[in-house]
Structure 1
Amino acid sequence: MIFSEISHSRTADEVMHQIEELVLQGVLKPGDRIPGERSLSKSLNVSRPVLRDALQDLEARGLLETRQGEGTVVADVVGTVFRDPIVQLIRKHPKATADYVEFRRQIEGITAFMAASRANEADRELLTRLVGTMTETHGMQDFSAEAAVDVEFHQAIGECAHNIVLLHTLRACYRLLEQGVFINRSLLYGHKGSRDALLAQHKAIYHAIMQRDPEAARRAAEAHMDFVAEAVKDVEIVGEREAVSRMRLAQHGTQRKSERAVKPARVK
């Protein structure tokens, strides 16, 4: 249970403060359901009217929202780094991808360094579970599932860093990754040799954090992003070559049809 009993000053302000802290610390994530009124009031040891006032205030401030059939959930408080018009521009300019990977290299290195320095037992247990899931998914050869665990793993490292600003910056950054704004992760995982290499790199970051070696964690994270940068370039080059080859094949078929159409009839 993530909610704890309020011992003193059982007011709506105290209830709001506890929920705010859970959202701020990343314990409650966008879309997470808030327990029902009866259950939550009992956990917090507050009256239902007090709880109701707190939830209404948090909803009015945009931290919570009520969804049909779901009840009260954490609102989308992460948002995006860029508004849609700039995202559309980014999609059309390949240099933005290189800049994104360059930014990721720096921020992932810092995050891994901090995670290795600050991760506690619960953090390491979470990372261990995710690496186990990652290994199982790898054996299934499900590119989309592997890509999803990839993001979850990196988000968990951000949580292990125990820096609130870094945590929410990373979440916004990964949202763009999940949306495929910069990198088509299915193509990346489908690239020859990438799946095995990515798994090994993730495990290298994991082991450095588990061994509490900040510098090794930083190097492993930076090496991982260096590989991603090169793999993305290769994927783009292969994609461009395939597109050209398909156009040549289509053109060849068109020419053959044209030649058959204009071929003179044989004189008998």
Structure 2
Amino acid sequence: MNLSPIKKVRVYEQVIEQIKDLIEQGVIQPGQKLPSERDLAAELSVSRSVVREAMSVLNTSGIIQIRPGIGVFLMEEEEQGLIHRINRILNKDEVNLSEVLELRQGLEVQAAFLAAQRATEKDLQLIEAALKELEQAVYKKKLAAEEDFAFHLAIIRASKNAMIQEMMNLLTEAIQSGMKKSRRRTLQMPKKPEEVVNEHFEIFQAIRDKDGQTARELMLIHLDNVIKRSYLVQ
């Protein structure tokens, strides 16, 4: 028999699928406000935490914009572009982690260099805040994958390069998956979690000091170490 593997569907993915249907039907259009978290939870018969998880994924993928105190809005861009991104979330095939990390090197090394040149005081505050959250999570023996991603994303945004941000949005799920795998390995290695925090601190320091070349070099070293910690390079 020629059977295909059954894909495990998470509940939040079903919420995303329903939102995709509303976009395709024209019920929700680009730039328009989505129903509230409470209304979506009631309409879909799921918990508000599930809706919140779906919104988090859509937000990091650049599909929606969360405006605190106002609501959640679909991004203002072509409908087909939004549908394409949602399809990537729902139907993403198994990725080659080593290739994702190699691509991250190309994007994030340059982003660190640009961030050192272009970061505003607000950007630096956001990077530093993400760094502190990462440090706290590491010393609490948490996996800290989300905190790690938030730090790198803050640098990407500080680069002020829309194309790099777009590429990171498209790779969000693959990158987060890779970070979880890498950090699980790191937790098993004595003193490695502390070394990881130090790597991040040095990158932040170089960006804060507007030393683009050092920021570039430190990011490359860090991502090389990520590959090693993931056992992708022996």
TM-score band, normalised by shorter chain: 0.5 to 0.7
User: Structure 1 225/58 Cα, relative in aligned 2: closer, same or farther at 3 Å?
Assistant: farther
1:137 alignment partner in structure 2: 137
1:176 alignment partner in structure 2: 174
Aligned with 1:79: secondary structure?
helix
**Which of residues 210, 213, 216 in structure 1 aligns to 2:211?**
213
2:228 alignment partner in structure 1: 230
1:195 alignment partner in structure 2: 193
**Contact 1:118-1:160 within 8 A present in 2 as well:** yes
Aligned with 1:69: secondary structure?
helix
Deviations 1:38-87 (A, max 9, x none): xxxxxxxxxxxxxxxxxxx9942366422451684134859369475551
Distance (whole Å) between structure 2 residues aligned to residue 100 and residue 227 of structure 1: 14
**Contact 2:145-2:180 within 8 A present in 1 as well:** no
Give the partner amino acid of 2:136. Answer: E
Which runs of 5 or more residues in structure 2 are unaligned?
1-15, 17-25, 41-70, 76-81
2:112 alignment partner in structure 1: 112
Deviations 1:177-213 (A, max 9, x none): 22x2686244233230431221111111100000000
- Aligned residue pair count: 172
How far 1:223 sits from its partner (Å)? 0.3
Distance (whole Å) between structure 2 residues aligned to residue 210 and residue 66 of structure 1: 40
TM-score under structure 1 length normalisation:
0.56
Where do 4+ consecutive residues of structure 1 move more than 4 Å?
80-86
1:74 alignment partner in structure 2: 73
1:100 alignment partner in structure 2: 100
Distance (whole Å) between structure 2 residues aligned to residue 183 and residue 81 of structure 1: 22
Distance (whole Å) between structure 1 residues aligned to residue 136 and residue 168 of structure 2: 25
Distance (whole Å) between structure 1 residues aligned to residue 86 and residue 104 of structure 2: 16
Which runs of 5 or more residues in structure 1 are unaligned?
1-30, 32-56, 91-95, 238-268
For the pair shown, the structure with the greater C-alpha radius of gyration is 1
Aligned with 2:38: secondary structure?
coil
How far 1:100 sits from its partner (Å)? 1.3
Distance (whole Å) between structure 1 residues aligned to residue 174 and residue 154 of structure 2: 17
